[in-house]
Amino acid sequence: MKPTYIGTMAVIFVGVFVASAQNPLYPKAMITVHVVDEEGNPVVGAKSGGAFEIPKMSGLGTESIAHESSTNSNGNVTSTGETSDGYVFYGARKEGYYRTANLRYLFKERKENRWQPWNPKVEVVLKRIVKPIPMYAKHVDQNPGRCDGDRF
């Protein structure tokens, strides 16, 4: 019995899939986010984590793969993911606190398909909402109208 082209392609595809799962395309990174309040106390139950940057499949720009979880009793969340450029964005949010977002950590170097230092601990300080100030918005027409002689 002769092997078929489709069978051969299926074996190659499965082999590539298994190999890529064992050896990821981009180095892995691990980061621990430590969330505290203004007094330095751990904030339990805050949503936090990391967003790992990888190139888009189109080859133009990057996309973020976010990992979010609730902080533990020590105010910590650990996230793991792949990143092509060593950047991980992180932040935290919880009801009753102002959101802190778009903080960035840059890993120093690659070693054995991992970003170093492995699992750095970064801190996020959440500030309580004590006396919120109402914000009002007003629509302003940006079209100045027609020009009439020397006036606009």
Give the residue numbers spanning the domain of 115.
Answer: 26-126
- Residue 52 counted as domain residue: yes
Closest CA to 41 of 101, 104, 119, 97: 97
- Residue 2 counted as domain residue: no
Structural domain count, the chain:
1
**Predicted local confidence at residue 134, as pLDDT:** 84
- Residue 77 counted as domain residue: yes
Pairing of strands 28-37, 121-126: parallel
Residue 151 sits at the vertex; the CA angle it makes with 147 and 152, to the nearest 5 degrees, is 45
Listed as ranges, residues in the chain with pLDDT below 70 are 1-24, 143-152
Q: What torsion, rounded to 10 degrees, do the Cα atoms 67, 72, 78, 79 define?
A: -10
Measuring CA to CA, how many Å separate 124 from each of 41, 119, 121, 150?
11, 16, 10, 55
**Predicted local confidence at residue 48, as pLDDT:** 97
**Predicted local confidence at residue 10, as pLDDT:** 45
Closest CA to 66 of 75, 55, 85, 79: 79
- Any idea what the CATH number is for the domain that residue 91 is in? 2.60.40.1120
pTM across the whole model: 0.71
